[in-house]
Structure 1
Amino acid sequence: MKDAVGWHVDVKFDEDSERTRAAALVRLPDGSELRSHGYASRHPSDANQPRVGEELAAARALNDLKEQLLTKAHDEIDGASGRTSYPITR
């Protein structure tokens, strides 16, 4: 059996009382790095819940990483096969 492969995704937050910013970074085994950002804003009438802002901002940053990974993978498939590949969306 082949050795297990793992990736580490680093997510850091910058917050104030109204806005949360998440910065995500993943380093891939080929040496490339993908970076993304996600944001969440608190409506003035909402309670201050920093964890919820972090979850929303992180989800948005990770969603952007997902899109970047799909693009990278399809570019590699296209380069190796000489044809255009299409992602399956669900």
Structure 2
Amino acid sequence: METIVGCNIEMEFHEMDAKTEAAVRVRLHDGTELKAHGVTHRHPDDPAQQRVGEEIAAARALNDLSKQLLDKAGVDIEEVTHLHAHLSR
């Protein structure tokens, strides 16, 4: 039996001079909402490439989000099994 479950992920960027921030939010089907952030700073000698700053900040935010999701999954497993969950990062 196949089950399809969806979730919404939102990401926005804030640009301030040489600093780019990414904020990501995901709402899981159980109602849990997780938020993560990523930041990058452009070196003064580097050319301004808005897209590159957004890509790096987004990758860092998504990396943070993936860690949070693994932590949540571990807690969920431990609540059912009453054993320590070993999830790789």
Displacement of 1:88: 2.8
Q: 1:38 aligned to 2:38?
A: yes
Displacement of 1:2: 2.8
* Structure 1: unaligned runs, 5 residues or longer: none
1:37-63 per-position Cα deviation (integer Å, ceiling 9, x unaligned): 100100000000000000000000000
* Structure 2: unaligned runs, 5 residues or longer: none
Task: Report if aligned partners of 1:23, 1:61 keep a CA contact under 8 Å in 2.
Answer: yes
Q: 1:28 aligned to 2:31?
A: no
Identity %: 47
Matches within 5 A, 1:50-89: 50-89=50-89
Q: TM-score, normalised by structure 2?
A: 0.94
Displacement of 1:8: 1.9
Q: TM-score, normalised by structure 1?
A: 0.93
The AA in structure 1 aligned to 2:79 is G
Displacement of 1:6: 1.9
1:3-40 per-position Cα deviation (integer Å, ceiling 9, x unaligned): 42222211100002200000000000010100011001
Query: How many residue pairs were aligned?
Result: 89
Corresponding residue number in structure 1 for 2:17: 17
Question: Aligned partners of 2:88, 2:19: CA distance in 1, in Å?
Answer: 33
